[in-house]
Amino acid sequence: MRVLDSHLHLWDPSRLDYPWLEGPLAARFAGAELAETDTAGAAVFVQAECLEAQFLDEVRWVAESAPATGVVGIVAGARLDRGAETEAHLVALAELALASGARIVGVRHLLQGEPDGTATSEAFLAGAASVAARGWAFDACVRPPQLPDVTALAAALPELRIVLDHLGKPAVGTAPVPLVPDAAWIRDIGDLAVHGNVAVKLSGLPAEAGGSWDATQVAPFLDVVADAFGPDRLLWGSDWPVSAVGPEGYRAGDRTAWLDAVAGWAEDRGLDVDAVLWRNAARVYGLA
């Protein structure tokens, strides 16, 4: 079984600063810790929201550690609504890729904490257009009320490849008290999927469940995005280590548990498991 993890985080607080880290996540999660998860394969690293001033340093560090982590592509941190500052940062990213060999395949401006409408502002659209011109994808990490903004972005820039992180973070409840997919989320996912330049990551639901999840609980949410996006725009991602924290703390085995859950679901639904676990991510991120 080939695996290309489309959503892997790595960090080392002794190297870079991550103000948001707390609890079990406020520790080093890099090559040695990743090896303990027993999930072999390649991965796309997604920026871990270090300090903005360290975005380029994060790319350098991840590129240096790539042989030990299996990282074959990097989704770098970038603020896309800063005008000339955004353009200068994208230029610096491209130059760093040439100088270091870092394989930059996309950028992420973390939208989940931004005001609604950020992704449709004139400044953001200009920055996103510059991302598209470089052939990079954009990772959209949003909360459900922000899904219409991502749809508007996709409509405004059909040349921009957009990857929706974590199914848009729907409320899934917990294994003992599961929730059913919300009607508004189902509607907004359907509206977004109309745009062929958008794909979705099957990732992050364990974190949304606070680490208390099971395959039966999450299957209805996977079904919704599969019905909306079709089999060729579904990408498995571990969201490691964020989605490997449960009520008892960090659990190395949860990365493999999520892989097994999604692979089993895909097989049960008659989907091409290799496409979900490998080929779709390789194509969307230009790694094929």
Closest CA to 273 of 202, 181, 208: 202
Q: In this structure, are residues 264 and 215 in contact, taking their beta carbons and an 8 Å threshold?
A: yes
Q: Across the strands, what pairs with 236?
A: 202
Residues of the chain with pLDDT under 50: none
- What local confidence, expressed as pLDDT, does residue 38 receive? 86
pLDDT, position 40: 81
Parallel/antiparallel/unpaired status of strands 249-250 and 245-246: antiparallel
CATH topology of domain 4-284: TIM Barrel (3.20.20)
C-alpha span between 138 and 122 (Å, rounded): 17
Interacting residues of 125 by C-beta distance below 8 A, sequence separation 6+: 153, 156, 157
Tokens 């999604």 belong to which residue?
262
- Catalogue the long-range contacts made by 272-279 (C-beta closer than 8 Å, 24 or more residues apart): 272/231, 273/1, 274/1, 274/2, 275/231, 275/232, 275/234, 276/202, 276/231, 276/234, 276/235, 276/236, 277/1, 277/2, 277/3, 277/4, 277/236, 278/2, 278/3, 278/4
pLDDT score at 221 = 98
pLDDT reported for residue 288: 79
pLDDT tens for residues 102-114?
999 999 999 999 9
pLDDT of 33 reads 97
- Please tell me the distance from the alpha carbon of residue 73 to that of residue 237, in angstroms, as a whole number: 13
Supply the pLDDT for residue 97. 96
